Structure 1
């Protein structure tokens, strides 16, 4: 018998759900938690692979090893062909992605008490912006990873459509909803007609009036906040001692970008940083950068930036303080600093929402509700911009981390029959 599930493999967090007689449910993937951070840690001391919160805990505790995060961001890009060395073994990014999906499958099967052989996987509207070939390659890469872990039948559904399927279970009348799915790596919009009568229909294509997406998400906000406020404390924006040029920005960009941090942990990158220090007007700042790299504390540093971003969703200010060796990296962060850092990205998100309406031939006034899903919808600058853009629409908050997985579970039952 085919047993189907819906798998939301996210840039930051992942879920897996199944649908039954009582509706969809998310399966526990880490202790009693139904979400699992999309993180792996290859432990050098115990020769084990750790996942999710446990992986983060191993890394933060100072255990020797290699942390991998934001794997979804490399799909469809040139980075997918990169490899990382773990002791004597070399892994490709696609291998690592498969390992994580396989662990999700194994844990879900334990929780469900049965094997799973069919899956509907979520996908953003665009893995890669303005490049249909790369976008198709990204979906193909994700499909190969899933099949390699034992899923015999693999299909896909847009993540915002999945969120609409979850939301539609509670509607009492027909209306036009703009699904706003702002995740760790992408921002996707879908204009969908929802109603109590339509939710039982097998074919919903005609109810999806338009979709659009842009490759901007929470990890981009982390990078922009880091580049704007934290990397200057490590030398970004300072000059060489002769005053002829600014220090190279590439290492700071890599340190601010989750899936590029490991690139700094090479002998070549270390030599370049050492040479930069010799030429720097402020070698004391570059020393802090070198300390972070030598201690392999890059993911921990950007993790603190992410915590600051999250804190600024509910507070006006945040005192950033990060210790590495004898150095301390400090910065006073304000909610307006975050807004300024991500302003261009927020405008691109708003433009994508407008493009969705244009494709559907509708106007702002036609939209009855904004259905918010994905953690980045909680960023104040984003919410303010969208609320101002749709002043008459009802703002409806879903389970920001679970609604896509629940919708994919519903879709898996429709496509595979349970």
Structure 2
């Protein structure tokens, strides 16, 4: 049978079509979504876990090298890999937050699949991460359905990294395809996420429309101008209806990091003196909260950076701030800071004030965040999203009849207000903020492979 698979930056979900109806497949109890997170005792545990616990071998010689090295390192550490060593979703996050310094944790690996300049062994390890997550989701879906799943349509952003960058797109899609194949899928197709979201909206139309789909995911914002209508429903030959696509690596995660940077980081020394009359470089405050940027995390949490922070501490006129930043380093607390920023973003949809609570181990820090402060913090990423929507309209050369907003962050009043300036007379509509892409992928899977029956 076939499923639509939304391997998202923030969450993953799957669905299939039964008797012309999209049916979401529960993954955790009765929940349809599982967070795109994974944790393990060490990074090397993941590669050995695939081989030893799931009988999944690497896809090439580089992967075999990564596996052999992982087994060697795990033996040196005295680790005997077990099936319950690798956790996923909120279970992974909860376990990590209990002991962040001694647990390997990864969130949103999709965000860096298109990064250029990575070594082959790094790309192979990323493939292992994605494969472990996909295998977990496939297994959960099969357990619920009591059926084997062999075919899938996987969603992908228009651009995995920046504007254009076809090499990045090919690299990322290649990782996803190899990971899905190793996870057990026999037939794999891809579809742009905004196109998939548009298919779900199209199913509600009774007349033809030109629709600007704005899909604001966790890691990317993608916009597609699509001709829609009942005459196109169920057809796979849609090239002439796809009028324009734009996409960039800016999404809900960026909203969280900007809230954290502008509202929290002054309590860690942003704007203060780092010795010799110079302010502390802003990268010291961005890097710990750029949780989807592998290089930023590696730079901040390096031993060399800790030594640099300790030297600045001795010279600083405000050492208590730097002591907090050093506590972030030593406790690997960046994820916790960003998570609290996300809570602030959600709470401020309903309230004018939120009190963020940060546990720094050395102290408990409470920081009030006003809605106006959040709105100011989001100005830069929101302006990028608006520019993508305007660019799609320009490329298409026509005005939309409707703007269809989807993705978890599309609920934001800041973003919805900003999109009213893209085409002031055009109505903004929405469906399921979290489910439109998955439902559209399931519909496309039906087009490609046929519907499933129970």
With normalisation by structure 2, the TM-score equals 0.84
* Pick aligned residue for 1:187 from 221, 231, 235: 221
Deviation at 1:10, TM superposition (A): 0.8
Secondary structure (helix, strand or coil) at the match of 2:183 reads: coil
State the alpha-carbon separation in 1 of the partners of residues 120 and 270 from structure 2.
26
Q: How does 1:145-164 map to 2 (within 5 A)?
A: 145-164=179-198
Pairs within 5 Å for 1:116-265: 116-130=149-163, 131-243=165-277, 245-260=278-293, 262-263=297-298, 264-265=300-301
What RMSD, in angstroms, separates the aligned Cα atoms of the two structures? 2.3
Aligned to 1:325: 361
**Distance in 2 (alpha carbons) for counterparts of 1:15 and 1:122:** 11
Range with bigger deviation, 44-53 or 91-100: 44-53
Q: Give the whole-Å Cα distance in 2 for the aligned partners of 1:402 and 1:146.
A: 21
Does residue 1:74 correspond to 2:112, yes or no?
Answer: yes
Give a deviation string over 1:173-211, Cα, whole Å, max 9, x none: 222211110011111111112212321323222222211
Shift of 1:265: 4.0
Q: More displaced, 265-274 or 137-146?
A: 265-274
Question: Are the counterparts in 1 of residues 116 and 168 from structure 2 also a CA contact under 8 Å?
Answer: no
- The structure 2 residue matched to 1:16, chosen from 14, 17, 21, is 14
TM-score (normalised: structure 1): 0.91
Q: Note the C-alpha offset of 1:77.
A: 0.5
Shift of 1:80: 5.6
Residue range with higher mean Cα deviation, 309-318 or 44-53: 44-53
Matching residue of 1:341: 377
- The offset of 1:410, in angstroms, is 0.8
For residues 80 and 113 of structure 1, do their structure 2 counterparts lie closer, same or farther at Cα, with a shift above 3 Å needed? farther
Contact 2:275–2:312 (8 Å) recurs in 1: no
- Larger displacement relative to structure 2 (404-413 or 320-329): 320-329
Deviation at 1:368, TM superposition (A): 1.9
The answer to whether the aligner puts 1:361 opposite 2:361 as a matched pair is no
User: Post-superposition shift, 1:376?
Assistant: 1.3
Distance 1:95 1:278, change over 3 A: farther
Confirm or deny that 1:283 pairs with 2:283. no
The aligned runs of 1:329-408 (5 Å cut-off) are 329-363=365-399, 367-408=400-441
Query: Which stretch shifts more, 322-331 or 187-196?
Result: 322-331
247-256 or 296-305, which deviates more: 247-256
Q: 2:308 aligns with which of 256, 272, 292?
A: 272
- Is the 2:290–2:297 Cα contact (8 Å) retained in structure 1? no
Deviations 1:261-315 (A, max 9, x none): 7524443333232223223222111111122222222212211111111212222
Match of 1:303 in 2: 339
| Structure 1 portions without partners, runs of 5+ | 85-90
Q: 1:52 aligns with which of 79, 83, 89?
A: 89
CA distance in 2, matches of 1:93, 1:237: 36
Counterpart in 1 of 2:51?
A: none
Which SS does the other structure have where 1:119 is aligned? strand
Looking at structure 2, the residues matched to 81 and 276 of structure 1 have their Cα atoms a distance apart, in angstroms, of 33
Shift of 1:370: 1.5
1:303-329 CA-partner distances (Å, limit 9, x unpaired): 111111121222222112212223233
Alignment CA distance shift 1:309-1:223 (3 Å) = same
Per the TM alignment, residue 417 of structure 1 is displaced from its structure 2 partner at its CA by 2.3
